[in-house]
Amino acid sequence: MAARPFKRPDPDEDDDDARREALSTSEDESPNRLVVGLDCRSMNLYRFLRVRFPRMPHGELRRWIGEQLVRVNGTPVTDSRPLRFGDLVEVDAEVTRPVARGTRALRPEVIHRDASLIAVAKPSGLATAGERSARVPHLLGLLRRAAPDAPVKLVHRIDKSASGVVLFALGTEAKRALQAEFAARRAVKDYVALVSGHVEDAPQRIDAPLTLRRGRIAKMVATPDRGKPAVTLVRGLLRFRGYTLVHARPVTGRTHQIRAHLRHLGHSLVGDALYDGEEQLWLSRIKLDYRHARGERERPLLDRLALHAFRLRITSPATGEAVTCVAPLPRELRSALRQLQKAAGTRIVNDFDALLADPIGARAGGDPFCAIPVGSP
């Protein structure tokens, strides 16, 4: 069976949207059928199965390969060979894949709505728009089902593994107006991210062009002499034992920009194995006297990408007024941060909205980044 050709995005999607789709390994009609994306190209088969079935015992994955239960492009495979972009991997075994957080509830959480736009809080693990199969839930589809009479249009995306504010337009004219706001960099996007290491409180500007590296695993890398201009403003918010909660504001909108820029600084995000981050956050790593009960396995404090689109500020096409949309931190992120604060012996901070509004390092006004000239990247 030949692998299906890679599906190109719609013509009205920009170049970064095309890269986002290419960087994702997409599911086909069932959990047993997987198409290899650029991020998994050149992975060996065993590693690919581990990535796509993270809760399946490793011995079971090896059994699948050894007993010829895995086919690549229709041919049974018994060794852990490298895969190629576009390969179709089929598993002839009972597969139970974890359901993405939020996909069970078929009513998207709307945080703001007017005559021209809808702002929704996206959970981690749910794609913003459709992947290869209409059977795989995605935010745009769920929103259209929840509001079948509304002309919901895609305006922008955030990473599937991230959470937070996503904006949709109501109608074609509103979509054009909102996308013009993003293109002119008038839309202000504020993220929080948990990263390894110590990040200074003082705001700083990361000005490093990004390009797609098509090596063993495709990802965005900082390339000073080439690539697309990319600027991110960052500052440390809270420091823990070995970690920092960071406020990041992307001025440009490149694929994986915050993840690649923070990696460029030497501070990979928790849960971001693609950019050399820890795959999971464990209490035993941060609590020196940690002991778990005999016979019990430790569960990770956090097993998702620690990146959240906290706030989005934009002008509404319907009213011409500024709109601020805030998506509170999901429960799993709040719980992990609370444990980090306890382990570090610091004051427990729960009001993250106030924390992000604190004008650290600012000369005037309430914007913490107003002291940094954005300029033209």
Is-catalytic flag, 367? no
Let me know whether 61 and 147 are in one domain. no
Instruction: Count the alpha carbons within 13 Å of 305 in the hemisphere toward its beta carbon.
Output: 26
What CATH number does the domain containing 147 carry? Answer: 3.30.2350.10
Q: What is the pLDDT of residue 373?
A: 62
367 falls within a domain? no
Let me know whether 214 and 155 are in one domain. yes
377 falls within a domain? no
72 falls within a domain? yes
Least confident interval from 27-36, 145-154, 186-195, 293-302 = 27-36
Domain boundary, last residue among 41, 57, 91? 91
Let me know whether 260 and 233 are in one domain. yes
Let me know whether 74 and 154 are in one domain. no
What CATH number does the domain containing 83 carry? Answer: 3.10.290.10
pLDDT tens digits, 320-351: 999 999 999 999 999 999 999 988 887 777 77
pLDDT-derived band at 291 (thresholds 50, 70, 90) equals confident
Let me know whether 121 and 58 are in one domain. no
**Domain assignment of residue 55, given as a range:** 15-91
The one-character DSSP state at 105 is: S
Q: Give me the percent of the chain exceeding a pLDDT of 70.
A: 79
Let me know whether 197 and 167 are in one domain. yes
309 falls within a domain? yes
Q: How many domains does the chain contain in total? A: 2
Average model confidence (pLDDT) for the chain? 81
CA distance 268 to 25: 21
DSSP codes of every residue in 246-290: EEEEESS--TTHHHHHHHHTT-PBTT-GGGT--SSB-HHHH-TT-
pLDDT tens digits, 76-117: 887 777 888 888 888 877 664 444 444 444 467 899 999 999
374 falls within a domain? no
Q: What is the pLDDT of residue 308?
A: 97
Let me know whether 43 and 126 are in one domain. no
246 falls within a domain? yes
Instruction: Count the alpha carbons within 13 Å of 101 in the hemisphere toward its beta carbon.
Output: 18
Full-model pTM: 0.72
Q: What is the pLDDT of residue 4?
A: 43
Secondary structure class of 320 (helix, strand, coil)? coil
Let me know whether 84 and 116 are in one domain. no
CA distance 250 to 157: 13
pLDDT tens digits, 110-161: 999 999 999 999 999 888 987 554 567 889 988 988 888 899 999 999 999 9
Let me know whether 85 and 172 are in one domain. no
Domain boundary, last residue among 61, 91, 121? 91
336 falls within a domain? yes
pLDDT-derived band at 9 (thresholds 50, 70, 90) equals very low
Secondary structure class of 111 (helix, strand, coil)? strand
Domain boundary, last residue among 47, 62, 91? 91
Let me know whether 166 and 208 are in one domain. yes
CA distance 207 to 376: 10
Q: Collect contacts of 16-24 with beta carbons under 8 A, ≥24 apart.
A: 16/253, 16/254, 16/255, 17/157, 19/212, 19/220, 19/255, 20/157, 20/159, 20/255, 21/131, 22/218, 23/218, 23/219, 23/255, 23/256, 24/127, 24/131, 24/160
Across the chain, which distance is largest between two alpha carbons, in Å? Answer: 67
99 falls within a domain? no
Q: Which structure tokens are listed for 189?
A: 């996007």
Which of 17, 87, 159, 303 does the annotation list as catalytic? 159
Let me know whether 211 and 332 are in one domain. yes
Let me know whether 78 and 113 are in one domain. no
